[in-house]
Amino acid sequence: LLNERLEQAMAASKRDGRHAALMFMDMDKFKQLNDSHGHGVGDELLVEVARRLTACVREVDTVARFGGDEFVVMLSELDPDREKSAALAGTVAEKIQSALAQPYRLALREPGHGPATLEYSCTSSIGVVLFSGHGASADEILKWADIAMYSAKADGRNRIRFHGRHA
């Protein structure tokens, strides 16, 4: 579905001249939560992350879990002006980062113990690429967003980085 929506956004962008943006993100240090408290708690966090991401974007936008703790957000129908589109995408990325950084209340299910709740905080690293529907394939756009996300991680995590190339 993500690939289909990306192709549609590329075609619409090419048709109407408006930019779109693809964000590739993952939760920093997610593996530590899974290793410490189990996959059930990790899965609970991922469900809440998806809910928060969906609340941060418009209905025309797309939120997808890419795998593990990686998510993709696609912002469609931005502005014809690249700089304005970059500013809009940056604002949404900051909103997402702020929402994901709020504490999570996760249910612990430890054998032999009663119900317990873990208050957990984590950050996210987000890579963003703008595209306008021509000059790049869907795979290239995903790859560029992924590269930008790894740049955010390399710069210390809890960062937003734009890919230098815009498709």
Determine whether 16 is an active site residue: no
User: Cα separation of 129 and 125, whole Å?
Assistant: 14
Dmax (CA) of the chain: 60
**Of residues 26, 28, 61, 69, which has the active-site annotation?**
69
What pLDDT is attached to residue 74?
97
Place of tokens 């317990």: 116
CA torsion angle for 91, 153, 107, 104 (degrees, to 10)? -30
The pTM (predicted TM-score) of the whole model is 0.90
Containing H/E element for 118?
Answer: strand 116-120
Segment 42-74, tens digit of pLDDT: 999 999 999 999 999 999 999 999 988 999 999
